[in-house]
Structure 1
């Protein structure tokens, strides 16, 4: 078959990967010169530990396997099975970690509770004061700014893949699409992976879909000056991932409410080191639209304070700040929103903050569902 992929982000590129792997010819169109949305404005985390039991966790575990397999073939992805440490500093946070480790999904997620000495042995860059950490062996990371170009380069080597940026799809026709240059592209199947772009042609074809947009703020620092062997999260991360829900988290929310800045911005600390030694840190969550065009400084000051407390020294100077917007299915039990737009056209969007983690498995599921 000839398959058209509309959207150049990680979800679209993983759909292209699955199609080429199955022997099909692929044309991938992107309205920008390069992907600029949530696919490059993220941590590059393959985050398994916090996923909800059931389809979400199953998808994340499968995606983790696929990321590693693809990373072996495409070293420029920067895949590394570095795991993660959610560092706990209070008795309430420790109780959540203890409850999670004793829970039924601990082995599947690769959870282990470490004391402070074991945490520092695993990640010597953490020299602050803390009680211990929840270790998740299954978590991993890739390089978000280079992942899509690296995947495309590997796809082009197949001879069955073409990348066509700077083309906005304006019309869906019986056997393909028409772009804003007036060029017609024929295809047996069209898959729209347009991320948070839910207007334009998508709205014309699909109408209002059960997907909302979420805005977040992040930053990148100067090099740390030493390796940060694992990804790092703080105890506030327990509040935002479904795997941690339970009596201990309820007690933590009651006994240890978030501080004013963190609560106002629905914050957690996530921190991962890039290959150049810099740190990507974040993040905030904002749901009420219209989103502001600017970023605010208070959240960055909070992140620097928390990160510095875990590192035991000031966070390196922040060199880049940005905001990103991702699409999230309003049905929180759905891993992604997937629907048929017409006889041969499909929309796949709304993985939420799981996009980087789950995209390989989401694309694999699409391929199986469509009989590629």
Structure 2
């Protein structure tokens, strides 16, 4: 079959990958010259530990397997099975971690509770004071700014893949699409992976979809002169991932309020060291549109304070700051919005903050559902 993928982000690129792996011919169209949305503005985390039991965890686990397989084939994506470590700095945070590791699925998630000495043995760069750490051995990372180009380069070598940037699809046809240059591209199957772009063609064909947009702020430092052997989270991350829900988290929320800045910007700390040694640090969550066009300074001050307290030292200079917007299903139990919108077309969007983690498995499921 000839498959046409609309969207050059990680979700679209993973659908192109699946199509080529299954022997189909693929044309991938992107309205920008390169993907510019959430796919290149994230942490590059393959995050398993915090996923909700059931479909979300199963999807993340399968995606983790697929990322590792892809990493063996495409060295340029920077896949590494580095795991993650959530720093526990208060008794209430320690209680949440203790409750989580006592559950039946802790081993499946690769979760282990570490003492302070064990934290420093696993990740010597963490020199700050803490009561312990929650290690997730299943978590991993890739390089978000280079992963898509590396994947596309590998796909081109197959001889069954073409990349067409700078084209916006304007019409869905019975046997393909028409772009904003007036060119018609024939296809047996069209997959719309448009990310947070839900107007235009999507609205014309489908109308409103059960997806909202979320804005975030992040930053990146100059290289750190030591190695972070794992990705890092702080105890506030417990508040944002469904795996940690329970009585201990209820007590944390009731008795350990976040700072005013963290509450206002709905913050947690995640920190990933890039292959060049720099640190990607975030993030915030803004849900109510219209989003501000400003990049606020206060969240960055909060992130610097927390990161430095975990590292026990000053951060390198901040190299860049940015904002991004991603699409998230309005039903938190749904991993993604996937729907057949015509005899020859599907819309796949709204994985939320799970996009980088789950996209390989989401794409695999699309082809299974489509019978391909």
Alignment TM-score, normalising by the size of structure 2:
1.00
* Cross-structure match for 1:144: 144
Q: Name the CA distance, whole Å, in 1 between partners of 2:265 and 2:148.
A: 30
The CA distance in 1 between the partners of 2:316 and 2:88, in whole Å, is: 22
Q: State the partner residue of 1:6.
A: 6
Deviations 1:230-264 (A, max 9, x none): 00000000000000000000001111011100011
Q: Equivalences for 1:86-125 in 2 at 5 Å?
A: 86-125=86-125
Deviations 1:306-336 (A, max 9, x none): 0000000011111100001000000111100
Matches of 1:148 and 1:126 in 2, distance apart?
Answer: 31
Q: 1:294, CA displacement in angstroms?
A: 1.5
| CA displacement at 1:340 relative to structure 2 | 1.1
- Equivalent residue for 1:350? 350
Residue aligning to 1:83: 83
- Give the aligned partner of residue 371 of structure 1: 371
- Give the structure 2 partner of residue 226 of structure 1: 226
Moved >3 Å (runs of 4+): none
In 2: Cα distance, 1:277 partner to 1:223 partner: 4
- The Cα shift of 1:112 comes to 0.2
| TM-aligned CA deviation for residue 9 of structure 1 | 0.2
Matched residues in 1 for 2:108 and 2:316: separation? 35
Deviation of 1:130 after TM superposition, in Å, equals 0.5
Q: CA deviation at 1:46?
A: 0.2
**1:51 and 2:51 aligned:** yes
Gaps of at least 5 residues in structure 2 are: none
Q: Distance in 1 between matches of 2:193 and 2:104?
A: 34
Provide the rounded CA distance (Å) in 2 between the counterparts of 1:336 and 1:215: 18
User: SS in structure 2 opposite 1:198?
Assistant: coil
| Deviation string, structure 1 residues 200-250 (Cα, Å, up to 9, x no partner) | 000110100000000000000010111111000000000000000000000
Aligned partner of 2:214 in structure 1 is 214
**TM-fit CA distance, 1:281:** 0.1
Note the C-alpha offset of 1:279.
0.1
Question: What is the number of equivalent residue pairs in this alignment?
Answer: 372
Compute the RMSD of aligned alpha carbons: 0.4
For 2:300 and 2:120, how far apart are their aligned partners in 1? 25
Partners of 1:248 and 1:143 lie apart in 2 by 34
CA distance in 2: counterparts of 1:161 and 1:369, whole angstroms = 22
Deviations 1:275-302 (A, max 9, x none): 1100000000000000011210000000
State the secondary structure of the residue aligned to 2:39: coil
- The equivalent of 2:177 in structure 1 is 177
1:283 matched residue in structure 2:
283
- Structure 2 partner of 1:18: 18
SS of residue in 1 equivalent to 2:171: strand
Task: Quote the Cα distance in structure 1 between the aligned partners of 2:287 and 2:316.
Answer: 29
What's the secondary structure of 1:341's corresponding residue?
Answer: strand
* Post-superposition offset of 1:193: 0.1
> TM-score under structure 1 normalisation?
1.00
- Pairs within 5 Å for 1:234-253: 234-253=234-253
Secondary structure of the 2:287 match is coil
Name the SS of the counterpart of 2:145 in structure 1.
Answer: helix
Once residues 46 and 52 of structure 1 are traced to their aligned partners in structure 2, the CA distance between those partners, rounded to angstroms, is: 14
Cα distance in 1 for partners of 2:46, 2:312 equals 26
